Amino acid sequence: MSSATRTSPLDSPAPPTGESVVQELPWRWSVQGRIFLIGGLGFMFDAWDVALNGVMIPLLSAEWGLTRPEAAWIGTANLIGMGLGAFLWGTVADRIGRKAAFSWTLLVFAVFTVAGALADSLVWFAAFRFLAGIGLGGTIPVDYALVSEFTPKRLRGRVLTAMDGWWPVGAALCGVVSAWLVSTWGDWRLPLLVMVLPALLVFVVRLGIPESPLFLMSHRREAEARRVIDRMVAATGAEPRPYVMPAAQERQAGGLGAIGSQLAAVWRFSPRITAVAWALFVTIMLTYYIALQWLPQFLIEAGYAEDRAFVMTSGMAAVGLLGVVVSALLVESTGRRWLLAVSSILASGVLVALAAVIGVPAAALPLVLVFGFIVQVAIPVLYTYVTELYPTSLRASGFGWASAASRVGAGLGPLFFVGTLVPALGLPGAFAVTGGLVVLAAVVMFAFAPETRGRALEVDAN
């Protein structure tokens, strides 16, 4: 061989890193798709449970003679529990592993859901819904972190956006199943209990999911990370090649102090990005949760029958599946920020119009469906965008704290919404206020946060 054809070691390309191998693998439904499907089922239960508050509010208001402010605690207790669970489980996921949090969230939810069905007063019911919310609140941040870290980079935007397709499925099933159970047997406990067995089955299935290799790398667990990566390479049929592990900083052990330190780390990483993530989550999800949980009650008060109100809300959730499809098709071409801003602001405007004609069935039903479609264009992009803003070491907790802020805001917000805004401004005026907050959050996003389309996921914060 002549010297002209020899390759100097200095000319050899550097071997890829472990995370680049994972993010460049071909997509296989038996590998990454399996994670997507199992993660999505937990997401479905989260949606079902949030929508269930909208069923419980009118049913328990009639059962126990609750006023609007009292009934608001049904959703408030559950959502504040979800908020607490989001950052607790997000911190667990970043400290001791995605898999542990991924598995145990549903078990906690199932146990306290059964307890809630046995409650005989608002105080006990709210307490058990709060505890069930702590369990289920971890599903969104943990599931998104895990799925994002197994998904190839070129498909990540579409896959994470498609994850939200499980939400309208869960919310729609809640409305349809609840309407059937209540109209057939008239017992408010059945819509709660019907969720428990499937949740336990999914818990068992989740125990077989591997730990995220990006998490293992970020915690210097190189041997375990290599085993997961090598199995993925073989299972996807990719060509094996040498790779190196990135340098990673030592992580602190988990514990009660980890919650505060992880919150501090999220803000220290980037105050601007974290402020944007929280503003987007709180305003967009507050608007959506008020609609999802209180629309059945508003419809009943406007003269609709209970079962029709539940079915209309179910239709709002079901048509959202089309919104998720549109979101997945557009998210890579439009970028995250523009699609999120336009869809969230439009959805808020539709709610104002719906509130103005809620007593006219011919006008209200189309607007309910239009809102359900547009808001589910926005929410998947929101989840994808915030997931991509943080490095692996902070991804679950960064998303979890933003989700926690939204759950707390959506829990406390209705107390002010139904107790103060609606009496003072009417339903259209109250929704106009929440829409104005969404517009403000979009302005802050464009001012302080970057576009993340096409960016590789980072393992460590710089």
The 10s digit of each residue's pLDDT in 208-266 is: 888 888 888 888 888 999 999 999 999 999 988 888 887 655 444 444 455 677 788 88
**Residue 302 Cα to chain centre, angstroms:** 31
Amino acid, res. 182: V
Winning range, highest mean pLDDT, from 178-187, 367-376, 382-391: 367-376
Here the contacts of 453-456 (C-beta below 8 Å, separation 24 or greater) are 453/157, 453/331, 453/332, 453/335, 453/336, 454/332, 455/388, 456/20, 456/23, 456/153
Q: What is the pLDDT of residue 102?
A: 74
The pLDDT confidence band at residue 7, using thresholds 50, 70 and 90, is very low
Q: Average pLDDT for residues 308-323, to the nearest whole number? A: 91
Q: How confident is the model at residue 135 (pLDDT cuts 50, 70, 90)?
A: confident
pLDDT surpasses 70 at 330 = yes
Higher pLDDT, 261 or 325: 325
* pLDDT of residue 3 exceeding 50: no
- CA–CA distance, 215 with 229 (Å, rounded to integer): 12
Tokens 């003269």 identify what position? 303
- Of 58-72, 81-95, 219-233, the poorest mean pLDDT is in 81-95
The answer on pLDDT for 130 being more than 60 is yes
Has residue 356 got a pLDDT over 60?
A: yes
Given a cut of 60, whether residue 287 has pLDDT beyond it is yes
- Can you give the pLDDT at residue 411? 87
Bigger pLDDT: 443 vs 100: 443
Counting other chains too, the contacts that 354-363 makes at CB distance below 8 Å and 24 or more residues apart are: 354/431, 355/298, 355/426, 355/427, 355/428, 355/430, 355/431, 356/427, 356/428, 358/298, 358/299, 358/302, 358/427, 359/302, 359/303, 361/304
In which band, very low, low, confident or very high, does the pLDDT at 378 lie, cut at 50, 70 and 90? very high
C-alpha to C-alpha distances, 357 to 59, 299, 352, 360, 436, nearest whole angstrom: 24, 11, 9, 6, 20
Average pLDDT along the chain = 86
pLDDT exceeds cutoff 60 at 364? yes
Architecture field, domain 16-241+258-448: Up-down Bundle (1.20)
Predicted TM-score (pTM) of the model is 0.78
Q: What is the pLDDT of residue 248?
A: 52
What average pLDDT does range 55-76 have in this prediction? 92
Give the model's pLDDT for residue 257. 55
Does residue 290 carry a pLDDT above 80? yes
What pLDDT score does 461 carry? 55
Q: Which one is predicted more confidently, 87 or 326?
A: 326
Please, are residues 35 and 209 in contact by the beta-carbon 8 Å criterion? Answer: yes
On whether the CB atoms of residues 401 and 259 are closer than 8 A, the answer is: no
Residue 140 has pLDDT above 90, yes or no: no
Instruction: Return the pLDDT at 258.
Output: 58
Burial of 196: CB neighbours in 10 Å, binned 0-12, 13-18, 19+: middle
Residue 459 confidence class, pLDDT cut points 50, 70, 90: low
